[in-house]
Amino acid sequence: MVLLPSLSLRASILASLLVVSFGIMGCSGPSTTTAPGTLPKDFPDHSADQIRQLIRAPVDTIKTFRGKARVSVRTPNQDRSFNANIRQRRADSLFMRFSLFGMEGGRMLLTPDSAFFYDSRNRSLRVGPLADAQELLPVPVGNGVVFENMLGLLAPSTEANWTVEADSSLYYLSTASGNREWTIDPSRWRVVRYKEKRRDGTVIENRHFSNFQMVDGVVIPHRVVFRRPPDNLMARIEYESIQLNPSNLTFDLQLPSKVPRRSFRGR
């Protein structure tokens, strides 16, 4: 029999993990020199592949980032906000330190295959495979997508046959079944909304990116909102500062000696 954490523990971990809910130049393709706020000359005639290339253009130049953010989380059990110091290395690790009213509440580390959450108040460590964190975190956490979601650099995959539509200022990409939809701002070449739906049209996931600002020559959204309506889950990240490719990032949880270790699935 699988044992899940208590409601209070699940709420505490979920509040921290939901954060993770939660410029990209190719060698070919259309020009990327259009200034933000100005529609490119080929709009609205870009193909899905061209749109993806333009979104992805500077991503390989960004290997790490550091940020400070205000995070708000809503679950069926709580509605709260806290501050977060975030460090991430695209290749392997995401570290977050959470605080409220100047007091540290916890530290989290995600690696490609493991999750660690240190409860600073109770001085205990929860550990488990990344799949266990996935059960508490309703967004993908593998294959590099955490990095892209945290910085709003996600793009449609090459696996789907996308239908491309446009209005006066935006592109809309969707699958033939309509279960996935992307809204792209071509004046910035950034995704502003991603939506996933069931066959009956019920929205099961919605991500929104806004407050775009230039950081080291790359357009980055400073407001990211993640929602899962069927589960009444919401996480909002509002960055106060972002630094791309900082040096000397550390990902040490700095645990006290002999800290109790427990499984995410244990009581």
Domains of the chain: 46-250 (2.50.20.10)
Q: How many other C-beta atoms can be found within 10 angstroms of the C-beta atom of residue 157? A: 9
Q: Please tell me the predicted confidence (pLDDT) of residue 7.
A: 40
The type of residue at 107 is R
What pLDDT is attached to residue 131? Answer: 67
Residues 6+ away with beta carbon under 8 Å from 159: none
pLDDT of residue 144: 57
Report the chain's C-alpha Rg in angstroms. 19
Q: What residue type is assigned to position 182 of the chain?
A: W
**b/e burial code for range 201-219 (CB count within 10 A of at least 16 → b):** eeeebbbbbeebeebeebb
What gap in Å lies between CA 113 and CA 104, rounded to an integer?
A: 26
Q: Which residues contact 248 (CB under 8 A, 6 or more apart)?
A: none
Q: Judge if the upstream peptide bond of residue 44 is cis by omega within 30 degrees of 0.
A: yes
CA neighbor of 186 nearest in space, from 69, 50, 11: 50
Per-residue pLDDT of the chain in tens (267 residues, 90 and over written 9):
333 344 444 445 444 444 443 333 333 333 333 445 689 999 999 999 999 999 998 787 899 999 999 988 888 877 888 899 999 998 888 898 989 888 888 898 888 888 898 988 888 998 988 766 555 444 445 555 788 888 999 999 888 899 999 999 999 999 988 899 999 999 999 999 999 999 888 999 899 999 999 999 999 999 999 888 988 888 889 999 999 999 889 998 888 888 888 887 765
